[in-house]
């Protein structure tokens, strides 16, 4: 049987309905565009009315009468002012338009496909370290749910992880340094090299927070820091670990940077400092920076073991007692420092017995700066003289009571030559330049919780004061102003901090070495 054709109205009805819907949708969009200002003002009036209704409902009943009186007074004043109702209407429409303006669509929640792939890769890489076969409900398992292990995360503009909160099982040995080091090394490799990471371990909550650290500023030149007597700025660190900031001048602009402040004096718990680094790491730069700060309130004795003349610019300045680079002069200067420490101890003891304050010459700080004592000790042994380090025993042991501070700077290859007294009494430590984790822990007494920088600039390293935390450190640029490679800006910055000359340099150079 041949099928009969459908009626014309049924065969063409669907197409006509589709065209009608398209025309209706286009008309609705056009009407919405034309009426958008009206819709915005209407929505704003509705929001303002709701806000007024909430304000009225929140107002206590005993205050509603004065509120009505205030509103009525305002309306009366508006009605009596020329063009008052018109201006009030315009102001109301403007407020409604501002209140009813379109809101931005909220940012999509959750990571995108590439970010999810990164997080899953991190999760799978941590499975061998955070799982065990005996766990009945493992938090980490191949193909498991990574959202349970990473409850919080942030990404930077390049799509790499910049902050990640990691949960781990309670049976993980987070109290062992080797176990933590393996996890930190893995996260450093998987999250992207070339950046510095901070690892915050919460052993009580079984959580690890990975944070990408911004680079420390390397353009801070030597300048007069805003500190009190007894405070020395070793360098600058991260704002997350130091609550204090110092106002610094950089060209014509000023900024606040968190410092690492080392406190010395009778109440200091770490009265002496040991600086360790490799060649070109900035150890001499830090000693120069300390010398310029110490000259504000005290006297400085410099003993240079390298013999390169890095401290010649201090010669003949007020407060600089001597700058020695020869074994004979170094031994004579340190012998005087030993006797001076003993004299200060006796004077302070006598004044305390008499119930009087210590004299001014005892309260004035004395700084002994010894750069590369290993090289100086080798020259002294070849000359048949005593190792200058042996003369630091009294200043190191009694320096806090006598207001004497000792700063020793040495390179890694000379650490074995340091005397036991230097190792025992220098509880404030600084390591500059490239160093292995074992070297850092051997000097600082604890490993840092950050990864090293990819390119280590001069003066970059770590600092630890006593038993405190390990801080990242960037030493302010304090070069030798007599060096031809020093820029004019840095040369002028150092020369401006020097005290005036107490005698011409030529006279000091012409004086015999044995003259007192």
Residues in the annotated binding site for ATP: 277-284
Residue 103: left (phi > 0), alpha (psi -120 to 50), or beta? beta
Report the candidate in 302, 266, 301, 300 with the shortest Cα–Cα distance to residue 398.
266
- H/E run at residue 461: strand 460-465
Q: Is 416 exposed, middle or buried (0-12, 13-18, 19+ CB in 10 A)?
A: exposed
Which residue, chain included where needed, has tokens 């020695």?
Answer: 324
Three-class DSSP category at 14: helix
Output the CA–CA distances (angstroms, integers) from residue 253 to 101, 238, 386, in the order listed.
39, 20, 51
Q: Which residues are annotated as a binding site?
A: 277-284
In this structure, what token pair is assigned to residue 402?
Answer: 């006598």
Q: Where are the alpha helices (DSSP H) in 319-455?
A: 327-353, 360-363, 373-382, 393-402, 420-425, 437-444
246 within 8 A of 483, measured Cβ to Cβ: no
DSSP code of 319? T
Give 244-306 as a DSSP string: --EEEEETTEEEEE-EEEEE-STT-S---EEEEE-TTSSHHHHHHHHHHHHTTTSEEEEEESS
Output the CA–CA distances (angstroms, integers) from residue 1 to 4, 10, 492, 510, in the order listed.
9, 22, 109, 132
Give 202-223 as a DSSP string: ETTTTEEEEEEEPPPP--PBP-
Residue 206: left (phi > 0), alpha (psi -120 to 50), or beta? left
Report the candidate in 344, 285, 336, 337 with the shortest Cα–Cα distance to residue 310.
285
Strands 428-432 and 152-155: unpaired
């Amino acid at each position: 049987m041949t099928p009969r054709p459908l009626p014309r109205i049924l065969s063409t009805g669907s197409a006509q309905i589709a065209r009608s819907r398209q025309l209706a949708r286009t008309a609705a969009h056009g009407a919405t565009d034309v009426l958008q200002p009206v819709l915005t003002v209407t929505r704003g009036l509705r929001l303002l009315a709701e806000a007024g209704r909430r304000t009225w409902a929140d107002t206590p009943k005993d205050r509603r009468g004065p509120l009505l009186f205030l509103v009525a007074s305002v309306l009366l004043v508006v009605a009596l002012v020329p063009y008052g109702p018109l201006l009030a209407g315009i102001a109301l429409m403007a407020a409604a338009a501002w209140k009813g303006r379109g809101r931005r669509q909220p940012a999509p929640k959750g990571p995108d496909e590439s970010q999810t792939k990164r997080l899953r890769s991190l999760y799978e890489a941590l499975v061998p370290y955070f799982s065990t076969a005996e766990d009945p409900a493992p938090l980490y398992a191949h193909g498991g749910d990574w959202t349970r292990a990473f409850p919080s995360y942030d990404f930077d503009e390049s799509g790499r992880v910049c902050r990640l909160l990691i949960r781990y099982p309670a049976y993980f040995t987070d109290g062992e340094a080797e176990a933590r080091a393996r996890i930190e090394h893995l996260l450093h490799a998987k999250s992207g090299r070339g950046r510095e990471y901070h690892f915050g371990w919460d052993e009580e909550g079984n959580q690890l927070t990975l944070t990408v650290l911004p680079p420390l500023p390397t353009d801070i030149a030597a300048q007069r820091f805003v500190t009190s007597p007894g405070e020395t700025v070793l360098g600058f660190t991260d704002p997350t670990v130091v609550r204090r900031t110092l106002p610094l001048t950089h060209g014509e602009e000023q900024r606040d940077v968190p410092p690492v402040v080392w406190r010395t004096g009778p109440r200091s718990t770490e009265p002496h400092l040991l600086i360790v680094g490799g060649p070109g790491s900035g150890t001499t730069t830090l000693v120069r920076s300390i010398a310029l700060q110490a000259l504000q309130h005290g006297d400085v004795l410099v003993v240079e073991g390298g013999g390169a003349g890095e401290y010649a610019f201090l010669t003949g300045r007020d407060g600089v007692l001597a700058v020695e680079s020869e074994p004979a002069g170094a031994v004579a200067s340190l012998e005087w420092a030993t006797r001076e420490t003993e004299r200060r101890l006796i004077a302070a003891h006598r004044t305390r017995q008499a119930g009087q304050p210590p004299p001014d010459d005892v309260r004035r700080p004395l700084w002994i700066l010894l750069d590369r004592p290993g090289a100086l000790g080798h020259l002294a042994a070849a000359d048949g003289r005593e190792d200058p380090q042996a003369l630091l025993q009294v200043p190191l042991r009694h320096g806090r009571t006598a207001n004497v501070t000792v700063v020793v700077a040495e390179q890694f290859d000379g650490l074995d030559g340091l005397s036991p007294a230097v190792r025992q009494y220098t509880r404030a430590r600084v390591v500059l330049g490239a160093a292995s984790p074992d070297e850092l822990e051997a000097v600082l007494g604890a490993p840092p919780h950050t990864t090293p920088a990819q390119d280590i600039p001069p003066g970059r390293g770590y600092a630890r004061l006593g038993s405190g935390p390990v801080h990242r450190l960037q030493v302010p640029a304090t070069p030798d102003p007599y060096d031809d490679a020093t820029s004019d800006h840095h040369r002028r910055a150092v020369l401006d901090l020097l005290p005036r000359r107490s005698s011409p340099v030529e006279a000091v150079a012409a004086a015999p070495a044995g003259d007192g």
